[in-house]
Amino acid sequence: MRAGPSQEDIRRHNLGALLRHVHLGGPISRAELTAKMGLNRSTIMALTSDLTAAGLVREELPRETGRAGRPSLVVRPESSRVYVFAFDVGPDRLAAARVGLGGAILDRRETARRRGPFDLDELAGTLAGFARQMRRKTRPDTVCVGAAAAVSGGVRKDDGVIMFGPNLGAESVPFGEELGRRLGLGLPVSVGNDANLAALAEHSRGVAVGVRDLIYLHGDVGIGGGIITGGHLLGGHDGYGGEVGHMVVNPGGQPCGCGSRGCLEAEVGERALLEAAGRVAARGDTRANALSHDGDGAGRQGRDAVRAVVDAADRGDIVAQEALKRVGGWLGLGVANLVNIFNPEMVIFGGMLREVYLGSAAQVRSRLATNAMGPQRERLRLRTSALADDATLVGAAELAFAHVLADPLEVLARVTG
């Protein structure tokens, strides 16, 4: 119930809105901006010259339009000049990318991560090293305007601390602070949950552009969720919203890492599938732990192991088919619950759930038909992630760009001193 915005607020809003058009939609003519933003030509001209002076966009004559009359100048993001660092910390990989304004991944580094405890020193060191390598290759006139990391865990809204991340072996880790210190760029590192950021990425640049109500389900060792309702990411009171992996779908079912039983993650996660397919020993079997912490080269865990089950089922392996059927049934029940609760327009399967869904779509749809209410599922679309393994990195880049889009001139003034 605050008062309306001041003239200065409006200018800032308009600058951000114009930059966002260019950042998300790519090169666009002034004439199109005038139409899309509902502003007059002189205002658009003033805004683009401010952004041009700041080095965020440039204006060019369009290629031959074939039309008579003076062509409208095209506004392009300064993609190779203005960039952010995006990081991803998953159970099985560490990745870093240099992403230009406009969203292009300009450079990237990646390494496998061995599952186990969270070694803050080593992790932050590796990622900062990647950033330094990429930075050394940039031209002198480039400027880094932000940095953000996607992590497989629950991130406290107030300070970006990873409060829980059982699949990373993390608990109460001030990761962003440490990575920021190591980067030495004088920039804070924003930290977000990987599924939340992947949901934002699909919403901004993936399969769900223009979709205001969506659920993104991310499978890794565990199951995470990123939920967008009415165009806004569901953050929750402390920032832990979207932890759909610990919704109980099967009371008394498989034991879960969280201490409970029958969570979606326990019934549908990597381990549940590999156990059902007889590819790792069942939980409770003392050999199980040994196996699960085994080297990952043997394909006994991780994305390759999941793909192997789906491929085997495709080739007619009955055990693999039954495993997918079982896991797909629980996945379908979880999705049906979420569809009833959220009435989304789209559900997106990402990470290893992409493979699981493709291998068990019939079970998922059958459960939806039984358990989701008719009107809720009538216009529902089920999709797989368009950005695939880049979704988390792309989402982290969007998080890093967020404050630039909120206040373009202030940020650039601060960064370039």
Which region among 31-39, 74-82, 86-94, 121-129 touches a second copy (by CB under 8 A)?
A: 31-39
Pick the binder of a second copy from 65, 133, 289, 340 (CB under 8 A). 340
Q: Does residue 240 touch a second copy according to CB under 8 A?
A: yes
Which region among 89-97, 296-304, 340-348, 388-396 touches a second copy (by CB under 8 A)?
A: 340-348
Least Cβ distance, residue 229 to a second copy (angstroms): 5
Q: Does residue 255 touch a second copy according to CB under 8 A?
A: no
Least Cβ distance, residue 332 to a second copy (angstroms): 11
Residues 370-389 close enough to bind a second copy by CB under 8 A: 370-376, 378-379
Residues 37-56 close enough to bind a second copy by CB under 8 A: 37-39, 43
Least Cβ distance, residue 181 to a second copy (angstroms): 24
Q: Does residue 212 touch a second copy according to CB under 8 A?
A: yes
Q: Does residue 225 touch a second copy according to CB under 8 A?
A: yes
Which lies closer to a second copy via its Cβ, residue 306 or residue 338?
338
Counting residues that bind a second copy (by CB under 8 A) gives 68
Contact 401, 82 (CB under 8 A): no
Which lies closer to a second copy via its Cβ, residue 67 or residue 232?
232
Least Cβ distance, residue 138 to a second copy (angstroms): 29
Residues 387-416 close enough to bind a second copy by CB under 8 A: none
Q: Does residue 236 touch a second copy according to CB under 8 A?
A: yes
Which region among 9-17, 130-138, 269-277, 407-415 touches a second copy (by CB under 8 A)?
A: 9-17
Q: Does residue 326 touch a second copy according to CB under 8 A?
A: no
Beta bridge partners of 57: 77
Residues contributing to the site for a second copy (CB under 8 A): 1-5, 9-11, 13-14, 17, 20-21, 36-39, 43, 154, 156, 163-164, 212-213, 225, 227, 229-230, 232, 234-244, 246-251, 258-260, 333, 336-338, 340-345, 370-376, 378-379
